Structure 1
Amino acid sequence: MFEQKTISIETASYDKSAIIYYDQKITPKACILYFHGGGLLYGHKEDLPEGHLIKLTEAGYVIIAYDYPLAPTAKLPMILDDVRDSIHHYIDHAEDYCGQKLPYFLWGRSAGAYLCLIAAAYGYFETPPAGILSYYGYGFLCDHWFQTPSAYYKTLPPVDASCLSHLPSGYETNGDLNTHYSIYVYARQTGKWFSLLYEGREKYFYLDYTLRTCQSLPCPLFAAHATNDTDVPFDEFRELITRYNPRTFIAACNVHDFDREADNQFTPRLLDATIDFLDKHI
């Protein structure tokens, strides 16, 4: 069974920490730096299902789950700078995390996968990652879907713009589902998601915060997606795999984060494929 500990990371703007999951009985092979999902508007670093933590730590991987500041208070430049700082912190202080220098992988689910992909594509790390795990991630490679109302979210009860008025004034790293999910629903129902994440000329968004100008990644990629994903179009996944030829895992279902359910038939197969990818690229 895994154990966990927390490490504080100094920042100028807000309290930040990372949770380290490990199995003390297993000799570690590598670390996995994890960034959570939530459309950059909600979510928190403790969202990994227990089954994922057990299986990966038993396979010899130390998982390090990080905070990052959430939109709309923080915008994409700040969020990505923070993610890059977290990666640099691991590279520079690996012994503080796991007692030794180990290779590292980047792992994100949904928005976290997006952050990992962009950070790796444009991060210029002294020690590059051994690989990237993208669970239903994206690179804003296809037009329109992130700037127009979502057909799926339009089927949910409408959420009013007043949801934004309940946000605290400072930076947040923990967006609870009960209090922050409505902001994401509002953003996707109205097509205002993009405007909550980014301020500035669209030209620089496409240059600096999408994968459209990135011809290759600095490491191998594992990409998983559901065929009828409700949040990220399957076409976005197709563009991702066309560009980077990753190891792929496709789930024939209509759930975005299909692995959150332990009894989903695809979850154990996804974890097995993930471990196989990790073992081959250490």
Structure 2
Amino acid sequence: MHSDTVPARVPASTTTPAAPTWDPQQYLRHAGHRARPFLDLLTRIPELPSRPARIADLGCGPGNVTALISERWPEAHITGYDLSPEMLQRASAEYAGPTSGGGLLDFHRADLADWLPEEPYDLIVSNAAFQWVPGHPGSFAPWINGLRPGGTFAFQIPGNFTAPSHAILAELCDAPRWRDRLAGHGARYIHLLEPAGYLERFTELGCAADVWETTYYQLLEGPDPVLDWVKGTALRPVLTALADDHEAAEAFLAEYRALLLEAYPPGPRGTVFPFRRIFAVARKEV
């Protein structure tokens, strides 16, 4: 294993899990915490080379952070790309159309595993999506080639896949009771790099790069707040695999809930949930 790769469990099964079914409403239950890293990323993106800017948002989800991009560049034409029809339906219904500054928001279906820029962009940006795209560093060169000179490629991804929330999920999926149906479903986050690995990639591509990490100590509320959080993201492959068996899904959730409560005990004002994020901003040379 390369030194710049986040350790990952090896799935017990060679079967590729199906693409997860997404629930925009569940995802948005923690919209404030989920959007904060993206807002921090936006502050580090430099001036774009042309106005009105052309911007791509890769893995736009329900469109709420795509709307934040339009607040920073209100005159821009911004296209959000996502593979989930559920997310795209929500994004289009809520945000598609002209913006207050004369720009435009639209949304299109695309698989980030093979998406290529079809026109020059001033900014290609992504919020918490590349963990679902094995081998995504291999796309950096064509994506950066699709930028105008002086354009920027920027993203943030979770860096918490060895945290208890994810380690427990992976172990439970591989437990004797569940491995026949779920082996590998909790360990899909491969090909993620540590910050130094991303910096090296962008340096090799001739970009001026700014790469850093931050751990957010989030205070979550409710009786099962960490379970509620992962229901919107990391747990989606499991919920998709068990969608046709309500009894099994409830049994799995009960086991996982109990283990999460041990790992993240509630406090008097909520449950502390540390969440590490990795950020990168790469500017193409002029």
Q: Tell me which interval the TM-score lies in, with the shorter structure as reference length.
A: 0.3 to 0.5
Which of the pair has more CA radius of gyration?
2
Higher relative contact order (CA 8 A, sep 6+): 2
Q: If the length of structure 1 is used for normalisation, what is the TM-score?
A: 0.33
More strand by share: 2
Q: If the length of structure 2 is used for normalisation, what is the TM-score?
A: 0.33
